[in-house]
Structure 1
Amino acid sequence: MEGLEVLPVRGIGDVTAGDDLAELITAAAPWLRDGDVLVVTSKIVSKAEGRLVDVPADGPEREAARQEILAGETSRVVARRGPTAIVQTHHGFVMAAAGIDASNVDKTHLVLLPADPDASARALRAALAGRGLRVGVIVSDTMGRAWRLGLTDVALGAAGIAPLRDHKGEIDPYGNELQLTEMAVIDELAAAGELVKGKCDGVPVAVVRGYPGVGEAETPGAVTLLRDAASDMFSLGTAEARAEGLRAAATLPGGGAVRMSAQSQDGPVAARPGAAVERALATVAELVEAEVTARGIRLTPAERSPAGWVALGIDIHRVRAALAAEGVASSVRTGEDGVVIEPHDAGKVEPHDAG
């Protein structure tokens, strides 16, 4: 690849419901050619598809309507701070306010994201192919990034261009085999296109020229870039994750304690807990006095009074919550002089070797 050229498409004008985007774009850019990548702002796709909703022009009624629309477009709330809500849309995108936009539209409407951005990209690519052009299409929108200030355009939909470039298995100049490197090509091209567009310039489409392998075949859409829940290490904001943790701690299973018989009670035995248990005990070390035995974690009341047993119950919950935070399930066995919390799975207690 020798280089890329990024070109604005000017003169498209205002887009309304039912407009033929392929016609508008080719009329404004008769210079398009095979192999170009069209980066099309989702706003005009939504307008052409009629994805607008009526709202009051101002006042508290407008905000109430916006909140109702936001709730309808939200699959789950990821984080909320003041008036700002980061949510996951029904498409799977994580973004501020579900991508609902009030810019470049009259005050009595809000613009929603396209219902299926990949399908929108495929339809526009097919319409351009009907005009003799083999191109790639990216439907883009602006997003923030975790841990970074500022906004950038990313791909919500794509057709005719591979969304990822996979470098796994390639050898770098130092002889190292690449293990994880996958480049989000359509996001990179969407960001490049934004450099010649801009919300205030009236340029909703950019063309990136010079990227190889465009428009030749059907390709997976931008949905390929969505991270699934199982691999998402940051699926909640800080406050939401803390609240979820507290809810989990309040609903730990196994509340029905099993009474210990005289034969099964454990005396103090030198033991070495697994690393997860060690971390859990370190978390509550300043609040709970616990003794590690071969069976588990023994807790006894500081005094044999109602208040002492209540305090013991609190300590039990602290330890079990700390274990759960480390991914360790546990159960509780009661005795005359206290309880033993038995960690399971990753929390297995390993006795010291005799020697």
Structure 2
Amino acid sequence: MTEPTFAPRVFSGIKPSGGLTLGNYLGAIKRFVQTQDAGTESIFCVVDLHAITVWQDPAELPGMTREVAAGYLASGIDPERSILFNQSQVAAHAELAWIFNCVARIGWMNRMTQFKDKAGKNAEKASLGLYAYPSLMAADILIYHATHVPVGEDQKQHVELTRDIAAKFNHDYKVDFFPLTEPVIEGPAMRIMNLRDGTKKMSKSGESDMERINMTDDADTIAKKFKKARTDPAPLPETPDELKDRPEAKNLVEIYAALSDSTAERVLAEHAGAGWGQFKPALADLAVDKLAPIADEMKRLMDDPAEIDRILARGAERAREIADPVLARTYEIVGLVR
């Protein structure tokens, strides 16, 4: 059988585990929309199987899954031009993950820094799923023969593992079946930081809601959070290099750049010498203009969960049309009787 040629195809996913933030929007969803609009074949997923690697309340998980789907849709993902679905509706993800569990090496998994970060000192009590989930992530990508994955720096290691798994599978079975997927990391504000502590990543699990911008925040809340964001006494400098020891200032400038489709250099050229009493209201106005309509549309969508479920189900049908033949050929290559 002739093995496939790999046309450009993007895959990426977001975990439904506690609400979407500005970090999800600028670091991921906004870029997904740009990829879609550039005409690249795109598959976007709500990775609910990854969510349950740590305990999730079964009563809350459906709502969190729908919220992520609503975030995709409200931001501009078109379910006719892209494929949008939740992971658990396509069984091929989990089936290919088992094959990859048998390809990946324990030493590779032991090098995964995110497991160490998330498990901490209680690694012995962490789930096997949390330990092995990079193998499932590889399956998420390779079940669609995806050639590119937009990721933040903290996920780059997992895409590198995906390449290792693909290369070892192809080598062991003497095929050229899985592509060596490329991580796509570009542009400003890939890592959005906490509004109260610029050394920490913005997180949906932070102690205070004032630390983050939620994608469901209304206009007044968005403006209030930016105006109360922590800063330092000095005015804005002329160049980004002068921000390297000013994490809160650097974060706000990069957020402004990302929201305005600009760069930190251009933002500082426009605002150099300005105090925070001038810059933060300008940032708040920009953020409200860009984000409040998304929050309004998310609310409208989440008021009709049946429509979100219909969109996800149709996306899953389209995803299976791609995934099932890849899985069938994988089983054939491995020697499993079907």
Higher relative strand content: 1
Higher relative helix content: 2
Larger radius of gyration: 1
- Give the TM-score normalised by the residue count of structure 1: 0.23
Determine which structure has greater relative contact order: mean sequence separation of CA pairs < 8 Å that are 6+ residues apart, divided by chain length.
Answer: 2
- Give the TM-score normalised by the residue count of structure 2: 0.24
